Amino acid sequence: MKLIAKTLQGLEPVLAQELQQLGARDVQILKRAVQFAGDLRLLYRSNLELRSAIRILWPIAAFRARHEDDLYRRIQRTDWSEYLNQRQTLAVDAITYSETFRHSKYVALKTKDAIVDQFRERTGRRPSVNVANPDLRINVHIRQNEVTVSIDSSGESLHKRGYRKETLEAPINEVLAAGILLRSGWRGERPLIDPMCGSGTFLVEAAAIASRAPAQWHRQQFAFQKWNNFDPQLWQELREAARAQQIDPPHAILGFDKSFQSIRVTQRNLEAAGLANHVEVKRRPFEKLVPPAEGGVLVANPPYDERLEVDDIEKLYRMIGDRLKQAFTGYEAWIISSNKAAIKSIGLKASARVPMFNGALECRLLHYELYEGSRKGEGK
């Protein structure tokens, strides 16, 4: 079957690599998505194990629609009894980039009408709508007049791992945090430090990567478990295989922050993820931090002065640059920020600048190689 994994802009190559490692075939990078081929086993594994995916879709129809009535007729060409019966529930999500189909909610309504009308005409009864927890979630994507209709195998977005019991202001998305770690090439083979850990998202995702714990290990339900063709024996087999491959991380994973509240929230989230034994968290400000290990990877999501205001943002970033130069020789640093002016204050030459979005904020993921005598340069 052809499948599509959705992701965040900038993480497409990371997701493609993850899929190839799972054994996906015909992997093709799209915009904020990756298309691939696989079977039911791969669909289940993709939902359970992928760290940089938001949801997994199974396209079942693709066509051109000239107007709303045309969309209705073409939706009805699919035999929906293959996926649903009149006693079950459905929900329709729609995304449109079109001059013809401008309102996604109306597209979703028109699609729902076409499906339930088909059942009413055939059986005299119709499925009900359940937006919160349907038996079948349908996704309609329209670009201009090209329509793709898919079955959503994930349900709730895969960035919701289930461990985030508390948050502080402006937390980083779980998928983005995992994607940054994977983009850095880190897989647990070196120590890792987050000097501004906030709610601990980087630390939880790092501990899961290093211990080989699936991204959705604690998730209770996926949409595919309500499908008529759900194979509970295969699902149990895959979960047991995932459990058997888990290990203790071979190197230190360390989190620091100047805030008592941040340390408390981070520890609670690590405990909820079942990973507290793999991470050491201490209260310590970045400006006084001396890494306990020689060489490793540093990741940071400092304030951007957008959602989280800072008195002197350029001073903060200047301190980050100074500390990296003074104490982190032998490390690689990966820092994400949307504040271009503040980035310049770091005062180090970035060896890579990867465009990414953190929510609606256009950011850069900056890579600094902190060798002896790191030279200054604009952080453009």
Please provide the distance, in angstroms rounded to a whole number, between the alpha carbons at the two ends of the chain: 44
Give start-end residues of each CATH 3.30.2130.30 domain in the chain.
2-152
Domain ranges in the chain with CATH number 3.40.50.150 = 174-212+248-369
Asked if 290 contacts 323 with a C-beta cutoff of 8 angstroms, the reply is no
Q: Tell me the β-bridge partners of 29.
A: 34
Main-chain dihedrals φ then ψ at residue 92, nearest 5 degrees: -125, 125
DSSP 117-128: HHHHHHHS--PE
Among the listed residues 58, 40, 37, the one whose alpha carbon sits nearest the alpha carbon of residue 48: 40
Query: Any idea what DSSP says for residue 286?
Result: G
Rounded to whole angstroms, the Cα distance separating 34 from 191 reads 31
Return the structure tokens found at 279. Answer: 């991470």
- Using DSSP bridges, classify how beta strands 89-97 and 136-143 pair: parallel, antiparallel or unpaired: parallel
Beta bridge partners of 336: 365
Element (H, E) at 368: strand 361-369
Cα 176 from Cα 246, distance rounded (Å): 23
C-alpha angle 352-355-359 in degrees, rounded to nearest 5: 140
The DSSP bridge pattern shows strands 55-64 and 296-300 to be unpaired
Return the residue matching tokens 């200054």: 376
d(CA 163, CA 207): 13
Asked if 86 and 31 count as a contact pair (C-beta separation under 8 A), the reply is no
Helices (H), 245-312: 260-272
**pLDDT tens digits in sequence order for the chain, 380 residues long:** 999 999 999 999 999 999 999 999 999 999 999 999 999 999 999 999 999 999 999 999 999 999 999 999 999 999 999 999 999 999 999 999 999 999 999 999 999 999 999 999 999 999 999 998 999 999 999 999 999 999 999 999 999 998 988 777 768 999 999 999 999 999 999 999 999 999 999 999 999 999 999 999 999 899 999 998 999 999 999 999 999 999 999 999 999 999 999 999 999 999 999 999 999 999 999 999 999 877 899 999 999 875 545 668 999 999 999 999 999 999 999 999 999 999 999 999 999 999 999 988 999 999 999 976 544 444 44
Pick the CATH number of 174-212+248-369 from 3.90.850.10, 3.40.50.150, 3.40.50.300, 3.20.20.70: 3.40.50.150
Distance CA 81, CA 84 (A): 5
Pick the CATH number of 2-152 from 3.30.2130.30, 3.40.50.300, 1.10.3720.10, 3.40.190.10: 3.30.2130.30
Helix (H) or strand (E) holding 256: strand 253-257
Instruction: Report yes or no: 287 and 320 within 8 Å, Cβ to Cβ.
Output: no
